[in-house]
Amino acid sequence: QVQLVESGGGSVQTGGSLRLSCAYSAATWTSRPNCITWFRQAPGKGREGLASIWIGGGSPYYADSVKDRFTISYDSAKKAVYLQMNSLKFEDTAMYYCAARTRRCAGGESLTDGSFAYWGQGTQVTVSS
């Protein structure tokens, strides 16, 4: 069992920055997450995978829509994954979620939500002019 808690969302003007955090914990060593991905979902839209990272190995992978503006990173000592979001646009407004799985990340496949069993409650990001 893996627990995820997101934080860091809020309201920001276009062009601004936010840093989201995803604190993770696992009940056992074998259930620890190896891949964590950030997703978002805007009202009336489907869930979009943004960035994934292999815990312990790095190798971040990004969706084309954010790769020049967002940066995913992790701190294994703090058991946290971060999403630094720069140059925010109105269309970045959404609920942001982190999701985890024990299987390692695998490029673009890691941005699809079907293989993630563990999800946080989400943190809202609102970008306004």
pLDDT digits (tens, 9 = 90+) for 67-89: 999 999 999 999 999 999 999 99
The 10 Å CB-count burial string (b at 16+, else e) for 90-118 is eebbbbbbbbbbeeebeeeebbeeeebeb
Q: What does the angle CA 34 – CA 117 – CA 57 come to, to the nearest 5 degrees?
A: 10
pLDDT at 113: 86
pLDDT digits (tens, 9 = 90+) for 38-51: 999 999 999 999 99
pLDDT at 57: 84
Neighbouring residues of 114: CB distance < 8 A, sequence distance ≥ 6 = none
Q: Under a CB-based contact definition with an 8 Å cutoff, are residues 61 and 54 in contact?
A: no
pLDDT digits (tens, 9 = 90+) for 6-28: 999 999 999 999 999 999 999 88
Q: Which of 12, 10, 15, 8 is nearest to 88 (CA)?
A: 15
What is the percent of the chain where pLDDT is above 90?
Answer: 87
pLDDT at 27: 85
pLDDT at 129: 86
Q: What does the angle CA 79 – CA 64 – CA 33 come to, to the nearest 5 degrees?
A: 20
